[in-house]
Chain A
Amino acid sequence: MRKILTPVLFVLLLLNGCGTLNPQGAYKGDKVLYDADLAITTSYAIVHAFVLWEYNNRSNLAGVPAIRKIADQLRTDYPCAMSSALALRDAYAASPNDGTAIELQKALAVLRASALQATKWLNQSQPSNL
């Protein structure tokens, strides 16, 4: 299963939305902003699902300390990365130019890395029948 999940999430985190924006919508045709918001909300959904799962299964996972270690690292790092990404997203929205777009992409890369980290445990836990 880990051989399936990790590549799927990798592709998911690299892809951007493929459709075209209705210009009457909230993004007013700004695909960069739409893709950024999609990346932010998706990374949160994945990281939150992981830390919640680890919290709910902590006793069962006591023999796999790598999972707790990764979860705790995300608990520490991810909220800061999210805060930074939201600030840079707002900076881009207020002033869309190459400079703010580049800074936003850097922040999104950190969030994508965090979401991928949430799948690292599959590689580290090494159960023989997954």
Chain B
Amino acid sequence: MPPLAILAIIDGAITIIEKAIPAFSAMVKKGEITVEHQQKLIDRLNALREPGAFDGPEWKVGD
């Protein structure tokens, strides 16, 4: 496998871990889930309802 591909794959693994760890931390946190945290989650969910959620070039097939 070309070195650039290997580097890109390592970069991809790190990128996904970076996305996953904050969510994981939120899930395992003990105690009360605060009003503010709940509102943040609702806001994140509502952002996914916006038309732009899947409009970026990264979502286009066949480019």
Interface residues of A (CB under 8 A from B): 1-2, 5, 8-9, 12, 15-22, 24-27, 34, 37-38, 40-42, 44-46, 48-57, 60-64, 67, 72, 75-76, 79, 82, 86, 89, 118-119, 121-122, 125-130
Contact = CB atoms under 8 A, between A and B. Distances in A.
- Interface class of chain B by DSSP: helix
- Interface class of chain A by DSSP: helix
Contact of A41 (B10, B39, B41, B59): B41
Contacts of B41: 26, 34, 37-38, 41
Nearest to A55: B58
A16 B26 CA distance: 10
Given A20-B33, A40-B45, A130-B9, A55 B57 contact: yes
Contacts, number: 164
B8 A20 contact: no
Contact of A9 (B16, B30, B32, B56): B16
Contacts of B8: 53, 57, 60-61
Contact of A127 (B6, B44, B48): B6
